[in-house]
Amino acid sequence: MSARALLAVLGAVLLAALPATGARAQAPGLGGSIELVDPHTLRVCADPRDLPFSDQAREGFENKIAELLARKLGRPVAYTYFPQVIGFYRNTLNAFRCDVVMGVVQGDDIVQTTNPYYRTSYALVFKPGRGLDSVTTLEDPRLKDKRLGVIARTPPATLMVMDGLMDKAKPYPLTVDTRVEAPAKSMIGDLLADRIDAAVLWGPLAGYYAKQPGANLSVTPLLKEHGVPMDFRISMGVRHSDQDWKRTLNKLIRENQDAINKILAGYGVPLLDEDGKPLAP
């Protein structure tokens, strides 16, 4: 998973510290009488340079999903951009600079999460026709002598240690300032240049880069692993106090799931159903 989905941020919740004349008093809004920073605008906090998720040009799939929800609410979208590094939530959502963060792992207790709007898994990315086309698990013996790229400290990295695959592996950093570094893009560049034989990436990253012009890469979701979870449900994050707003977002997700899935599929995200099986296109 990308750093944006895994990073555990120890941010201070500022609800009690804000005076009554501050952001909390700018009610009423879509989510309740005192919950939203701006009741007339869908305010989103996002990373400024983290495709395929988000960027300042609003070309990521999370940008597109936010625009979809804003249309349904009849309001414009406004962004506060901040790199998803340590301090992200403290400096954005919990500082009342926005009302929602897209792309949060369901159950992340740093924020309150909505119902999930998609489920996906890590995937193996490789050039077709080089002996890996039928590989569906990291336990496959055909990977033993392969040079695998993996983001350090992610679930597949743990499995690769267990499966004895790290001797030839090339690790890439998890926590980076995305304005400067793009580990997944670097990994795919190494794969295309044959510096590694396969890449193990979070599904949205795998699918996105495999769809780039000239890539000609295969993507196999890793759905048969044991011992370490490899698939996750992804939600939106709101402040812990924002109960009405969470219910509003849950309703929007439920009523627009097909349109959300269409956006995600357009970016190559390997979607899973509630049983953890690939969702039919």
pLDDT in tens, 93-130: 999 999 999 999 998 889 999 999 999 999 999 999 99
Domain assignment of residue 84, yes or no: yes
Q: What are the DSSP calls for 217-232, one per residue?
A: -EEEE-----SS--EE
Query: How, if at all, do strands 198-202 and 148-151 pair?
Result: parallel
109 in the same domain as 7: yes
85 in the same domain as 139: no
Q: Which two tokens stand for residue 63?
A: 């940008």
| Per-residue DSSP letter, 154 | S
Domain span at 140: 120-221
- Evaluate the omega torsion of the peptide bond into residue 83 and state whether it is cis, within 30 degrees of 0: no
60 in the same domain as 13: yes
Residues 6+ apart with CB under 8 A from 97: 37, 43, 45, 80, 91
Burial of residue 6, with CB atoms counted within 10 A of its CB: 0-12 exposed, 13-18 middle, 19 or more buried: middle
Q: Which two tokens stand for residue 16?
A: 């009690």
Query: How, if at all, do strands 148-151 and 170-172 pair?
Result: parallel
* Higher-scoring residue by pLDDT: 35, 162: 162
Domain assignment of residue 197, yes or no: yes
Overall pTM > 0.85: yes
Domain assignment of residue 276, yes or no: no
Q: Which two tokens stand for residue 28?
A: 């009423």
102 in the same domain as 124: no
Q: What percent of the chain lies above the pLDDT cut of 90?
A: 81
261 in the same domain as 171: no
201-259, pLDDT tens digit by residue?
999 999 999 999 999 999 999 999 998 999 999 999 999 999 999 999 999 999 999 99
**Structurally, how many domains does the chain consist of?**
2
Q: What is the CATH number of the domain that holds 152?
A: 3.40.190.10
